[in-house]
Amino acid sequence: MTTATRVYIARLAGLAVFDPNGDQVGRIRDAVVRLRTTNRPPQVVGLVAEMPMRRRIFLPMGRVTAIDPESVLLSTGTLNLRRFEKRPNELLVLEDLLDRRVRVDPGDRPGTVVDVAMEANRNGEWSLSRVAVREITGRLTRRGQVHQLDWHRVRDLIVLPDTQGTAGLLAVLDQMRAADLANALQDLPDSRRHEIAAALEDERLADVLEELPESDQVAILTALDRERAADVLEEMDPDDAADLLAELPPPEQDVLLDLMQPDEADSVRQLLQYQAGTAGSVMTSEPVILTPDATVAEALARIRQPQLPPAVAAQVYVARAPMATPTGKYLGVVHFQRLLREPPAQLLGGVLDNGVDPLQPETPLLEITRRMATYDLVAMPVVDAAYRLVGAVTVDDVLDQSLPPDWRDRDSALGNGRSAGNGNMTSNGNMTSNGNITGDGDRNADG
C-alpha cells in the first residue's frame, strides 16, 4: 500500500481505517482543516473517523501512513477516544465546503464545489490544493462541466456556512446506513440538520428518525410542515411513530394523527393507549400474520420481503381471520428454521409451535426480558383478553427499552466523551495510561 500525494476528500468518505495489525478501527467521514492567517491554503490537520458505537474521533495526519482507493492505514493502534469537536479556526471539508456556491477566476464565473483535493509536500504536511467545481450554466437540460482548479482560483470558499447547499452533502451521506446517517446529523448545526432532513425522501427520513435520540426526533419533526410530518410518521414503524408522538403535546398528536392515513393512524392510536414499560407500549402491531391454511411456501415468500426487520421476519404468527391486528383467535407461531425444514406445500396449521404462552399487553418489560432469555426467543406474540393477536415484541424492542434513555445520543454513548484511563484505547480494546495525543500531526501543533 502506498500513500497518494493528492487525494480528493469526497472519495475518502466511507473508506475503512486499519491499524498496523490489519484490524479495522472505523471509517473515514471527513477531513479537518485549519485556517491560516496567511494567504496559504488551509492545512489538513487530520481526519474524522467513525468508530463502533457511532462515535467520531480525530485522527492526526501524522498517524496516517498510507492512503489507497480502498483503505487508510494508521501507524499506531493507539487512538484517542475523546469525541471530536470542531474548533473555531477549523473547517470540515465535506460538511462545510461541499456544494458551496463559488466564483471562479478569471471572470467571476459561478459554480458549485463537488470535491476538494488535499496534497502533501516534501515534509509530509497536507494542505488543500485543488477544487473540483461544476460550472453553473443556467440551462436546465445540461449539467455544467467540472473543472479542477487551483485553490487560489476559487473565490468565496471560506465564507458563512449558510451558503453551502445540500445536494453534495446528501450525495456523500446517501450510501450510509440509517443509523450512520443519524449519527452524522448529530454533528451538524440545527439549520443544516433541518435542511438535510427536509431534502430526504419520506421513507429515508423515517428510517433516520428511528435512529435518533428522542429530542432530535422531535426537533426535526416539528420543523417540518404538518402534512410532511404526517407522511413521515406513516413511513415509520407504528411503535416508533407512537413513541415519537408520545413526546408531543396531546393537541399536536391529534392534529398529526388526523392528517395520517386512517389505517396507519389507527395502529398508532392503539399503541398510544398502552402504559409505558409494558408489552403493549413496545410491541410492533405489524408482525407477519397468516391463516392456518396458508402454505410453507407462502410463509417463506412473506418473510423474504426486504423491508422486514430481521427480528420480525424470524417467525410467522398464525391466527384466524381477520389478519390485521387485532386478529381472530391466535393459534401459534412457526419459526423460520421450521419453515426451511418443511415441504413447500405443508400447511402452517400442521407445524404450529404453541408451547410458549404469549404475552399480555400489560406484561412488564422485566418479565418480557426474562421469558425471552429463558426460551432463547427473538420475538414473542402479544394477545388480548379475547386471545386475539394484537402485536409482537421483538428483541430489538427489548434492547431499546433496556438501554439508558440517551443511548442514541453520541455525547452520552461513552460517558459524555470520556472513557476510563483518560480516553486512550488501543484498537484491540486495551486501555493505555496516557490520554494525550503527541508527536507529529498533533492537533495542537502549529499550522
Q: State pTM to two decimals.
A: 0.55
Q: In whole angstroms, what separates CA 19 from the centre of its chain?
A: 24
10 vs 165, higher pLDDT:
10
Q: Tell me which residue of 261, 242, 262 sits closest to 253, measured CA to CA.
A: 242
Mean pLDDT across 397-408? 73
Q: What pLDDT was estimated at residue 188? A: 75
Q: What pLDDT was estimated at residue 430? A: 35
Number of Cβ within 10 Å of residue 317's Cβ equals 26
Q: Which of 13-17, 139-143, 341-345 is predicted with the least confidence, judged by mean pLDDT?
A: 139-143
60 vs 142, higher pLDDT:
60
> Could you tell me the domains of the chain?
8-91 (2.30.30.240), 94-167 (2.30.30), 177-273 (1.25.60.10), 289-402 (3.10.580.10)
The per-residue pLDDT for range 410-425, each reduced to its tens digit, is 445 444 433 333 334 3
Mean pLDDT across 181-192? 78
- Going from the C-alpha of 262 to that of each of 177, 241, 265, the distances in angstroms are 30, 14, 5
Q: What pLDDT was estimated at residue 424? A: 41
Q: What pLDDT was estimated at residue 399? A: 85
Asked if the model's pLDDT at residue 160 lies above 70, the reply is no
Q: Which of 36-40, 67-71, 80-84, 133-137 is predicted with the least confidence, judged by mean pLDDT?
A: 36-40
Q: Tell me which residue of 37, 15, 43 sits closest to 27, measured CA to CA.
A: 15
Residue 374, phi-psi category: left (phi > 0), alpha (psi -120 to 50), beta (remainder): alpha
Q: What pLDDT was estimated at residue 309? A: 86
- 133, 146 in Cβ contact below 8 A? yes
Q: Tell me which residue of 79, 69, 168 sits closest to 116, measured CA to CA.
A: 168
Q: What pLDDT was estimated at residue 378? A: 93
Asked if the model's pLDDT at residue 4 lies above 70, the reply is no
Prior bond to 326 cis, omega within 30? Answer: yes
The per-residue pLDDT for range 259-308, each reduced to its tens digit, is 999 988 998 998 999 988 899 988 988 899 999 999 999 999 999 998 88
Q: What pLDDT was estimated at residue 440? A: 37
The per-residue pLDDT for range 359-375, each reduced to its tens digit, is 999 999 999 999 999 99
**pLDDT-derived band of residue 1, with 50, 70 and 90 as boundaries?**
very low
Asked if the model's pLDDT at residue 176 lies above 80, the reply is no
439 vs 75, higher pLDDT:
75
Report for 58-72, 98-112, 207-221, 283-297: range of highest mean pLDDT? 283-297
Buried b (16+ CB within 10 A) or exposed e, 338-353: bbeebeeebbbeebbe
Q: What pLDDT was estimated at residue 37? A: 59
Q: Which of 61-75, 80-94, 254-268, 371-385 is predicted with the least confidence, judged by mean pLDDT?
A: 80-94
179 vs 163, higher pLDDT:
179
Q: What pLDDT was estimated at residue 5? A: 79
- Going from the C-alpha of 379 to that of each of 133, 217, 283, 292, the distances in angstroms are 51, 26, 10, 20
Q: Tell me which residue of 178, 370, 405, 390 sits closest to 281, measured CA to CA.
A: 390
AA identity, residue 57? I
CA distance linking residue 301 with residue 153, whole number of Å: 58
Q: What pLDDT was estimated at residue 79? A: 77
Asked if the model's pLDDT at residue 426 lies above 60, the reply is no
Q: 278 - beta bridge partners?
A: 364
Mean pLDDT across 177-197? 80
Exposure of 266 in the CB half-sphere (CA atoms within 13 A): 8
Q: What pLDDT was estimated at residue 106? A: 80
Q: What is the mean pLDDT of the chain?
A: 83
CA dihedral over 249, 254, 255, 256, signed as positive or negative: positive
CA distance linking residue 278 with residue 282, whole number of Å: 7
388 vs 145, higher pLDDT:
388
Asked if the model's pLDDT at residue 141 lies above 60, the reply is no
**pLDDT-derived band of residue 409, with 50, 70 and 90 as boundaries?**
low
